[in-house]
Structure 1
Amino acid sequence: MPEPLDAALTEVRTLLLDPTLTRAVAAGRRRGRRPTVARAELRPVTLKAGPRLQIATSDGVRPYTRNVAPGAESAAAVDELLAEPFGNWHVETADATLQLRVTKSGEAQVHRAATAVRPAAAPAGHDRAKEYLLDPGDEIFAEIGGSAAKRRQVDAFLRALAATLPDDLTGSLRVVDLGCGNAYLTFAAYRYLSRRGLDVELIGVDVREDQRRRNTELAQRMGWADKVSFVAGTIADAVVDPAPDLVLALHACDTATDEALARAVRWEARWVLAAPCCHHDLAKQLRAQPAPTPYDLLTRQGILRERFADVLTDALRAGLLRVHGYRSEVVEFVDSQHTPRNLLIRARRTGTEATGAQCAEYRELVDQWRVTPRLETLLATAEQPPVA
């Protein structure tokens, strides 16, 4: 039920000045109004001078952080932020969590919940609570959607990302998400990587101009416009300069995954994460000719042929990446109950030249099934190591 905004903000003020405050974020804007800062984050810190309330703000271009003393100074700083026309507040204390959204009519939609008690040591066995890499209460879920299924998918993706990058990675990281769509995994990746202390610059590419505008507006609301940007264009042709360190391609349909992998190879990207979607190309090729002996039973039934085409396509993709200087593996990155398209091709560039045996292994499989993988065709036009 909508509530009077003034009363809801008074409640927010009380929580912000509560000694048990753990974290708070203000973002977004109200209808027809724009705050002087795009985003504000508050959290308690302990300095040599004593406890302070740290307030980090961003104008969309550069961040600014200040530490204010408890008492009158903190109260004045909090009142100053509450006077800004933010559209959303997310506040966490040791005992409570409050999420406030300002409606188009200027009222407050408020969700209140008790903060879950976190034991000092997680219990052993199957009752242990799941720990997410990105807090389910993070304000980003208020923007990208926070259903339980989406949070699980985000967490599964971030775990795959964490397993791909070195634990000791520091400094800057340039990321490109090819075929980003509505970009909820794009934003989650930025949030997670930046919280690891990396200086992340992320570009999302999607063919639809309306998606570019929508995602750009969201980046501005989050205060990330200086680090997260979007371009409209095809995976094969969108201008991305300079070349990225990490390439993401999540559920790009059919040969769009091949286009993303081909660009990653040409860029000599250090890491690649690709979650393929449908696999029509090789399935069509398999339908057009008899299977080699003795594998006719694998492709005689339509449903088996389609599933085998999925396996063959991703096996050949992983093999081609290995031929072109990557260590690659295909893993399950989210439980199949959430989506049947749950495989992830994970690759790390080694720069090691493929052995004759590796090239022969790939070529023998292609020749036996008499198929022409799209990724091989795309890479054939570039100056890359020979496949055979």
Structure 2
Amino acid sequence: MPQPLADVLAEVRELLLDPGLTRAVAAGRRRGFTPSVTRAELRPVTLKAGARLQIVTDDGARPTTRNVVPGPEAAEAVDSLLAEPFGNWHIETASSTVQVRITKKGDAQIHRASASRDSAAADHDRTKQWLLDPGDPLFEVIGGNAAKRRQIDAFLRALEATLPAELPPTLRVVDLGCGNAYLTFAAYRYLAGRGVSVEVVGVDVREDQRVRNSAVAESLGCSDDVSFVAGTISSASLPFEPDLVLALHACDTATDEALARAVGWSASWVLAAPCCHHDIAAQLKGRTAPAPFGELTRHAIMRERFADVLTDTLRASLLRLNGYRVDVVEFIDSAHTPRNLMLRARRTGAAPTSAQLSEYASLVEEWGVKPALSTMLPS
């Protein structure tokens, strides 16, 4: 529930000046205000001169580092930062993590996570095991059974491996074909926990999903940052061009629509877990396979499985031709879902090589197929 901002900032001040502080990050901005710096990070350090509180601020051009003496000097520096209209605070101590988000109305939403076991080592193991704390309020809303926690954790690990260690101060995310949006919310909770300002939009064709997901965002206290629109993947209107595009289990050519929009936006990062590969399978049916690969498509079940592989191979190839580095990885163990492949892409802007162009051309020519994605990409 929202709390008075002054009360929450007083608690934040105590944590920032406490000897048990491990790290703190302030980022984002409150509605209608702009801080003098885009990001601030605080951590205790030990120098030759003794213990200091290190404060690194970034004005968007270059970082500035100060090492202040604990006591009145540190208190004055902390008070100056708390007076800035940051939208988010993330504080880590030896025993807890506190996340604060300032709402549009100027109140504060606060989430506290602390050790649930007596042993610090046991807490370390638990933190290492799950990227999103099993005690996070998200699991109270969506349910926290073991299978769902494993899928969320596998997704977040893929996300962690895709993004750089240092994120931009504001990260804009779209989830295309978000469905019931539990992975959308998981991405938000994880990214917000990394101390950056996160804006998320989920897109789904069903209006009832938009209404349901918006209600969940309200219950989690993140409706200022996480919103939903009803519309198709190819035409839904967004309030921004995203940095990160998610398309998780979008069916058949809906995955191609999502990848095409990501390329059109020049999104920096893309995570897509394809589902239901009908398009290429239909093109292969009744077509003679090039020699000596007739056995690959002679039997229906083999043809369908090969079509899955060929479809995603061509998708990865087309992303490379459009300036992305692509990894094809396992999303989650096939014991949990048979749709367990993920395309993980980072934009490099590199022009395609002649070898890459030749390989793609040979694939489509030999198999006599035309990938849906090739018809959707910006010309």
TM norm. shorter chain > 0.5 = yes
**1:272 pairs with 270, 273, 278, which one?**
270
Shift of residue 345, structure 1, vs aligned partner = 0.2
Compute the displacement of 1:170 (Å). 3.2
The AA in structure 1 aligned to 2:243 is D
8 Å Cα contact 1:60-1:225 kept in structure 2: no
Q: What residue is the counterpart of 1:139 in the other structure?
A: 137
SS at match of 1:119: helix
Paired residue for 1:8? none
**Aligned pairs for 1:15-30 within 5 A:** none
Kindly report which structure 2 residues correspond to 1:1-388, keeping only aligned pairs within 5 A, or say none: 46-48=15-17, 56=100, 59=103, 61-64=105-108, 115=117, 117-119=119-121, 131-379=129-377, 382-383=378-379
User: Which string of whole-angstrom CA distances, capped at 9 and with x for unpartnered residues, describes residues 355-374 of structure 1?
Assistant: 11111110100100000100
**Would the alpha carbon gap of residues 166 and 280 (structure 1) be closer, same or farther in structure 2, given more than 3 Å must change?**
same
Equivalent AA in structure 2 for residue 222 of structure 1: L
Contact 2:109–2:221, Cα closer than 8 Å, also in 1:
no
4+ aligned runs moved over 6 Å, structure 1: 40-44, 49-55, 90-93, 120-123
Distance 1:91 1:246, change over 3 A: closer
Give TM-score scaled by structure 2 length. 0.72
Do 1:58 and 1:223's aligned partners in 2 also have CA atoms closer than 8 Å? no
Cα distance, 1:302 vs. partner?
A: 1.1
TM-score, normalised to structure 1, is: 0.71
Q: Specify the SS of the correspondent of 1:251.
A: strand
* Cα offsets for 1:283-313 (capped at 9, x unmatched): 1111131111111111111111111000000
Using the TM superposition, give the Cα deviation of residue 329 of structure 1 relative to its aligned residue in structure 2, in angstroms: 1.4
Query: Alpha-carbon deviations, 1:232-284, whole Å to 9, x = none?
Result: 00000101132111000000000000000000001110110000011011011
Deviation at 1:141, TM superposition (A): 0.5
Checking the alignment, whether the CA contact within 8 Å between 2:217 and 2:226 is kept in structure 1 is yes
Cα 1:240–1:55 shift into 2, 3 Å:
closer
Worse-superposed segment, 240-249 or 48-57 = 48-57
Q: 1:161 to 1:50 in 2, by over 3 A?
A: closer
8 Å contact kept, 2:200–2:225 = yes
Q: Distance in 1 between matches of 2:114 and 2:343?
A: 40
**Aligned 8 A contact 1:61 1:226 in 2:** no
CA distance 1:370–1:122, shift in 2 (3 Å)? same
Residues 162 and 56 of structure 1, relative CA distance in 2, 3 Å threshold: closer
Q: Does the C-alpha gap of structure 1 residues 241 and 51 become closer, same or farther in structure 2, counting only changes over 3 Å? A: closer
Q: Which runs of 5+ in 2 are unaligned?
A: 22-95
Give the corresponding residue for 1:85: none
CA distance in 2, matches of 1:296, 1:340: 26
Quote the Cα distance in structure 1 between the aligned partners of 2:99 and 2:341: 41
CA deviation string 1:118-174 (max 9, x = no partner):
526979xxxx99611001121110111211000000000000000000001230010
Report the AA paired with residue 244 of structure 2: L
Where 2:275 maps in the other structure, the secondary structure is coil
Q: Which runs of 5+ in 1 are unaligned?
A: 1-25, 28-34, 67-89, 96-114, 384-388
For structure 1, which segment, 41-50 or 369-378, has the greater mean C-alpha deviation from structure 2 after superposition? 41-50
The count of corresponding residues between Structure 1 and Structure 2 is: 301
Secondary structure of the equivalent of 2:302? helix
Q: Distance in 2 between matches of 1:36 and 1:266?
A: 42
**Cα distance in 2 between the residues matched to 1:344 and 1:210:** 28
* CA drift at 1:117: 4.2
Q: Is the 8 A contact 2:273 2:342 kept in 1?
A: yes
Amino acid in the other structure paired with 2:156: L
Matched residue SS, 2:245? strand
The share of aligned pairs that are identical, in percent, is 59
**The residue matched to 2:212 in structure 1 has which SS?**
helix
